[in-house]
Amino acid sequence: MGGILLGRSPMATAKFQSRALTTEEQMEIERLSRSRTAHARLVERARIIRLASQGQGVSAIARQLKVSRPTVYTWQARFNAAGLAGLQDEPRPGRPATYSSEQVGLVIATALTKPEGLGLPFASWTLDRLETYLNEQRGLAIKRSRIDELLIAEGLRWRQQEKWFGARVDPDFAEKRGPSSNSTRRRRRIA
């Protein structure tokens, strides 16, 4: 088996020392290690640093928090090098964004603009109308589902569609509709 080294690694044989915490760091580490609202990863990292600052060894911390020893080494080393900022996640590689920030801005600005102001024959947007407008008029090839994701990420929500018995957009609707049909018999009142 190539690539496997027998014996102990230098990190495993040397006692790893955490640097001394400043008063501000100590208070923040205590707050984060007890937090119920911070990300679980950040809470775990703060607990590692808190236990290390109390003098516990790497193996004891790993056992107590049910993490691996390399995890404890990693977060202690990052904290020693960068302080509290070292406990944050670093950017991860991945697929580049499909749409530029200008294109995302166009989608959001269009959704917030009244269609009548753009010369369109309807009063409100639907995802289908937005998709058609962006594809045909603005030349932005984007699907309905992606538009929805972008708007939700921006904190925008679609109104619920009005029910057939809800308020009417046209105030003269009843007059234009005419009288209701008498297809249902009236119920007799019981004395």
Q: Give pLDDT tens digits for 58-110.
A: 999 999 999 999 999 999 999 999 999 999 988 888 888 889 999 999 999 99
Centre a 10 Å sphere on the Cβ of residue 76 and count the other Cβ atoms it contains: 23
Q: Has residue 184 been placed in a domain?
A: no
Last residue of a domain, one of 36, 52, 87: 87
Question: Chain-wide mean pLDDT for the chain?
Answer: 83
CB distance 134 to 106 below 8 Å: yes
Minimal CA–CA distance to 44: which of 81, 89, 3?
A: 89
Q: Has residue 52 been placed in a domain?
A: yes
Does the pLDDT of residue 149 top 70, yes or no? Answer: yes
Does the pLDDT of residue 113 top 70, yes or no? Answer: yes
Indicate if 103 and 72 belong to the same structural domain: no
Does the pLDDT of residue 54 top 70, yes or no? Answer: yes
Q: Is 19 exposed, middle or buried (0-12, 13-18, 19+ CB in 10 A)?
A: middle
CB distance 102 to 69 below 8 Å: no
Minimal CA–CA distance to 28: which of 12, 47, 55, 9?
A: 47
Answer whether 0.85 is exceeded by the pTM: no
Q: Has residue 80 been placed in a domain?
A: yes
What is the total count of domains within the chain? 2
Rounded CA-CA distance 81/84 in Å is 9
Maximum CA extent, the chain: 97
Indicate if 60 and 106 belong to the same structural domain: no
Rounded CA-CA distance 98/96 in Å is 6
Locate all alpha helices (DSSP H) within the chain, ordered by sequence: 10-13, 23-34, 40-53, 58-65, 69-82, 101-112, 127-136, 144-153, 173-177
Rounded CA-CA distance 179/188 in Å is 22
Average pLDDT value for residue range 157-183:
65
Q: Has residue 2 been placed in a domain?
A: no
Q: Has residue 164 been placed in a domain?
A: no
Per-residue confidence band for 181, with pLDDT thresholds at 50, 70 and 90 = low
- Residue 154 identity (one-letter amino acid): E
Domain carrying residue 51: 16-87
